[in-house]
Every structure is written in structure tokens, then in C-alpha cells.
Amino acid sequence: MIKKKFLNKIIIFVFAFFLLQIIQTNIWSVEPEEILKNQKYELRARNISKNIRCMICQNQSIDESDAPLAKDLRILIRNKIKDGYADKEIYKFLIDRYGDFILLKPPFKLNTFLLWLLPFVFFAIGIFIIFVHNKKSKKT
Amino acid sequence: MKKKLLIIPTIFFLLILAAFFFLLITDRNPSELPSALLNKNVPKFEGKSLFKDKKIISSQIFVKEIVLVNFFATWCKPCLEEHKYIKRFSEKNGIKIIGINYKDNDKRAIEWLNKLGNPYSDVIVDKKGNVAIDWGVYGIPETFIINSQGIIKHRHAGPLSEKIYKKINLIINNIE
């Protein structure tokens, strides 16, 4: 009986946890008057906004930020989409002005290749160490 | 053999520690970002002049001399603080300064400049902040140094102070 109660508690906890996740991922700052009527365009704008850093808050995307500059950039992205710009061109427009830092994900470049590759290198070293260690302990 | 091997991770750990410590004590400001426009041509833009009833085109401004570009607004407190340094640049150093009035009210901006003194040779109205986006501005005040070829040589985000006034002066002298 006690066990069942405990299990129920866990189920509720897990459920609440996932519910919280869903609610959290749905937080955005796009204001009603910003939203484009064309749903396809709006979706594109949202996707771009999610990858663009809010330069004021720095660890938020402009999709989530209430900062005035984030709002300006959201509107700018939407206007560019309406004007027929491709996603790539919009990214380039923003990078030309604000630098790579405006992308939340650093691009793979000559000066960032260590950043991207080092985790894999360390992972390989780790596997190698475990492998060597195992071999040694099996012998003894 | 095993004990000897243990020295390697210890040294490695100490090296990382030293690196972190070094980064901690050096004077760095994480919110200070390098401008993507550094050593590039001034972005092309046009806008209404605040005082004169005319359009200002960027290609007419940046010719033959060093120009400071300063983004400001009357609602921005740090802009008020740095105003005396902007004035000093124009009065003492005789440098041409272009003001960009960011998301402001025209009437209030004119009043503000009449009261405090107007160091700008021209003020461009940027009602929607589009000019600021072209310059990669993310928060005013911001000040840019442009050389006589119309290339951006320095960007300072935040208000000017005595220390930064001197620093910008040094940069201007080095350009000349």
C-alpha cells in the first residue's frame, strides 16, 4: 500500500516535470502585432529568431527576449522575409552588422574548430584510456 | 611507475588552474564585444536632419577628415553623463561629430541640445532605430571613430568617461 502511494507520487512528479518542460519551451516574446498573417513566413521568422542572440541579454534568443532591440530585430527579420529575402541572406545581413556573436551557435570556422572538435578528441582519449586500462587489469 | 604517471594529471590540473586564475584577474569586460564593422567601410544610410530640413546621406559626411559618430537620446541617462566629453571633443579638439538621435522625440532632442550645447555638426534622426542596426549598435550611447577614408577604426559601447576620453584621443592621434 505504501509502495503504491510512493509510486503515485513519482508518477505525478514525472508528469509535472514534463508539463513544465512543455510550458517552458512555449515561452516567447513575440507580440501579437508583430505576427505575420502568412503562416509560412511567420514560421520562418520564428525559426530564424530562435537562432539569433539578443545582444543585450546575451544568453537569450531574440525570440524569447523582451528587450527593445530584440523586438526591432524580430520586426526587421519579418520585413525582410516579406521583401523576399532568403533565410541565408537574412543571417548574413545580421552577421555583417553584429558579428558571429549574434548566432547562438558558433559557426564552424578556422578559429572555432578547436571549440567544436576538442570534445570529440577528449572523448577519444577517454575511450583510449579505458581501453588500455582494461587490458592491463585483465592481464594481472 | 604508477605513482610517476599520477604527476601528469596533477600538472595538467595546475595548468588549467593557472589559466583560469589568469583570466580571472585580468581586467576583462564580458559585455564588451568587438564590432563586426571594425576596419570596414561606414555603412551606407540616409536620414532626416534634426535641425535643418534636409536629408543627410552618409556618403557626404565621411570625407577627408576624422569623424566621431555618437548615438544618443534624451531619455538615456548615460548620454547626459557623457555629453561634456562629446562637447570637449568638438570644442577642444575640433573634431567633427555626427550625432544620431536614437528613438527620440525631435522636439525634446532640440530642447536638450539647446540647453546643454550642441557639439554635433549634424544630427540624424533615427526614429525606428534602423540606422543603429546598420551600425551594429546594441545599446546607446555608442561612439565610433571613423578615419578620413571612411573606415571604422574604433567602437566604444557605453558612456565616455575621463579615461575613455583619453583613450579615444590617443586613437585619434595615432590615426593622424
CATH number, position A97: 1.10.8.640
CB B69 within 8 A of CB B152: no
Are B133 and A73 inside 8 Å of each other by CB?
A: yes
DSSP code, position A103: B
C-alpha cell at A122: 577528449
Residue B30 has pLDDT above 60, yes or no: no
Residues in chain B with CB shorter than 8 Å from the CB of A68 are 103, 129
DSSP code, position B118: -
DSSP code, position B44: P
Q: Number of folded domains in chain A? A: 1
Contacting A residues, span 106-125, partner chain B, CB-CB under 8 Å: none
C-alpha cell at A68: 527593445
Instruction: Determine, yes or no, domain membership for B18.
Output: no
Strands B55-57 and B46-49: antiparallel
pLDDT score of B61: 77
**Adjacent-strand bridge partners of B123:** B99
For A88-131, how does the pLDDT look when each residue is reduced to its tens digit (9 = 90+)?
A: 999 999 998 888 888 988 887 777 788 888 899 999 999 998 98
For B103-120, how does the pLDDT look when each residue is reduced to its tens digit (9 = 90+)?
A: 999 999 999 999 999 999
Peptide bond connecting B34 to the previous residue in cis, omega within 30 degrees of 0: no
DSSP code, position A120: H
Instruction: Determine, yes or no, domain membership for A137.
Output: no
pLDDT score of B6: 77
ipTM for the assembly: 0.75
Q: Of the candidates B33, B36, B103, which has its C-beta nearest A97's C-beta?
A: B36
CATH number, position B136: 3.40.30.10
Residue B138 has pLDDT above 70, yes or no: yes
Residue B31 has pLDDT above 90, yes or no: no
C-alpha cell at B166: 583619453
User: What range does the domain containing A116 cover?
Assistant: 39-130
Query: Which H or E element spans position B154?
Result: strand B152-157
C-alpha cell at A2: 505504501
CB B70 within 8 A of CB B86: yes
pLDDT score of A90: 92
**CA–CA min distance B153, chain A (Å):** 15
